[in-house]
Structure 1
Amino acid sequence: MASYQRALIVGAGSGLSAAIARQLSLEGLEVALAARDADKLADLCDATGATAFSCDAAEPDQVDALFAAVEKKVGAPDVVVYNPSRRIAGGIADLDPAEVAQALAVTAYGGFLVARQAARRMAKLGRGAILFTGASASVKGYPRSAAFAMGKFALRGLAQSLARELQPQNIHVAHIVIDGAIRSGTRSAPPDRPDSLLDPDAIAQAYLNLLRQDRSAWTFELELRPWLETF
């Protein structure tokens, strides 16, 4: 962890992103958070010392401006986590093409935009880590979930390509499959199925473990699921 100094979490909110921000802050990293509504991150910033920025990850100009602002205020990030996704459900005959296009833009195209800016800066630093948050839909296309599956499959493909391109430049690229529902303030495990939901703090610890790996044995893909989740 000593080689990492500054992290940018894109698509920040009160769940997994908040848990990752707390873990990285405890490790001594300066943390920047990006969300379309940066005001909602005020409490998390107070708790972690993080700095919040407004950004729509699917808009190239906003992503460019985000990295310029983070670099100016915090410094060039050497850890970037991409969390945004948009899920729309429905049968293939009923899906609205414009909504599907937007879902793909948020889930996958935004990952490309963010990774593009991150890679430019990390190449100059000579080190870095780019972590992409996947889902069950990254490897399994469920019925009535075509848009989400397309977006997450595309994000996984992006991660694979970047790992082969960037890891020889000392930039660790990893894709984390979150295969199950995440526990939150509004979602808890039933009494008869304890720990049947993923604990966001436990997921964040797994992200931290990736950053601690020696480059002689980097993980590219990590699947996380509760002990009761079916494969």
Structure 2
Amino acid sequence: GYVACVTRRSLDKLQPLVAQIESDGGAARAFACDARKEDEVVALVDGIESTIGPIEVMVFNIGANVPESILSETARKYFKVWEMACFSGFLNGREVAKRMVAREAAAGAHKGTIIFTGATASLRGAANFGAFSGAKMALRALAQSMARELGPQGIHVAHVVVDGAIDTEFIRSNFPERYALKADDGILNPDHIADTYWMLHSQPRDAWTHELDIRPWSEKF
């Protein structure tokens, strides 16, 4: 089976996730990395490939959803949102793709999968979400460009629009009224999102999906 290599800036905050994966029978390793720092991303990818093995699937799902009126938005925060939601996707996608492309494989083989997580903002810019919408739309364009360049080289690049609240501690703590919808399947279950991502990775190359959207049955769109 695969080893899940999970990353974030704080290594300590990853330990509960690693423990959960292992308790469910999986294998996981935690790595500290600031995804906005090129040298750290290069070291991360090199470290995983040298100590764990070739990266077969990369999932980019950093979020930076901070609402703000365009009238009061600061250049610093706008740039930071772009760094987190788009630029870091470029860094991670580039480094993983470089190694996938260089990998020796039989002619016509599937060399790997790169999945970028999008949001409703990837498709339309809502009021007070100028920074986030701009970054997510740019990430979507990056995914499209990479898919067209790398697909013929055996790399499946996909973009998934996640349209709805996800069952996380953040939603539980900050949006209790939204979290209450869980009882009626009104928010996304992370395991079911993972099932969708696994489906994308498992697709035969004669029927690759580049983009799809997922949302709870009751979500308006």
Once the two structures are TM-superposed, the CA of residue 44 in structure 1 deviates from its matched residue by 2.3
Once the two structures are TM-superposed, the CA of residue 92 in structure 1 deviates from its matched residue by 0.5
Give the aligned partner of residue 50 of structure 1.
28
* Secondary structure of residue in 2 paired with 1:216: helix
Give the aligned partner of residue 183 of structure 1.
167
Alpha-carbon distance in 2 for matches of 1:100, 1:43: 31
Count of residues in Structure 1 that have an aligned counterpart in Structure 2: 203
Whether 1:109 aligns to 2:87 is: yes
Alpha-carbon distance in 2 for matches of 1:210, 1:183: 21
Contact 1:177 1:221 in 2 (8 A): yes
Please list, as runs of the form range in 1=range in 2, the aligned pairs for 1:99-178 lying within 5 A after superposition: 99-125=77-103, 126=105, 127-178=111-162
Once the two structures are TM-superposed, the CA of residue 70 in structure 1 deviates from its matched residue by 0.9
Contact 1:123 1:169 in 2 (8 A): yes
Alpha-carbon distance in 1 for matches of 2:198, 2:100: 19
Please list, as runs of the form range in 1=range in 2, the aligned pairs for 1:1-231 lying within 5 A after superposition: 28-46=1-19, 47=22, 48-125=26-103, 126=105, 127-185=111-169, 186=172, 188-190=179-181, 194-231=184-221
The residue type equivalent to 2:143 in the other structure is A
Q: 1:183 to 1:43 in 2, by over 3 A?
A: closer
Once the two structures are TM-superposed, the CA of residue 42 in structure 1 deviates from its matched residue by 1.3
The residue type equivalent to 2:127 in the other structure is P
Q: 1:190 to 1:226 in 2, by over 3 A?
A: closer
Post-superposition Cα deviations, 1:112-151, rounded to whole Å, max 9, x if no partner, equal 0001101111012240100000011100111000010011
Contact 2:181 2:187 in 1 (8 A): no
Alpha-carbon distance in 2 for matches of 1:190, 1:98: 35
Post-superposition Cα deviations, 1:4-59, rounded to whole Å, max 9, x if no partner, equal xxxxxxxxxxxxxxxxxxxxxxxx11221111112111132232321111111111
Give the aligned partner of residue 108 of structure 2.
none
The residue type equivalent to 1:189 in the other structure is A
Contact 2:4 2:29 in 1 (8 A): yes
Contact 1:138 1:156 in 2 (8 A): yes
The residue type equivalent to 2:7 in the other structure is A
Q: More displaced, 220-229 or 179-188?
A: 179-188
Q: RMSD between aligned alpha carbons?
A: 1.4
Contact 1:78 1:129 in 2 (8 A): yes
The structure, 1 or 2, with the larger RCO (C-alpha pairs under 8 Å, 6+ apart) is: 1
Post-superposition Cα deviations, 1:34-88, rounded to whole Å, max 9, x if no partner, equal 1111211113223232111111111111111111111121122111110112122
Q: More displaced, 30-39 or 137-146?
A: 30-39
Alpha-carbon distance in 1 for matches of 2:55, 2:180: 36
Unaligned 5+ segments in structure 1 are 1-27
Q: Percent same amino acid among aligned pairs?
A: 42
The residue type equivalent to 1:32 in the other structure is C
Q: More displaced, 134-143 or 35-44?
A: 35-44
Unaligned 5+ segments in structure 2 are 106-110
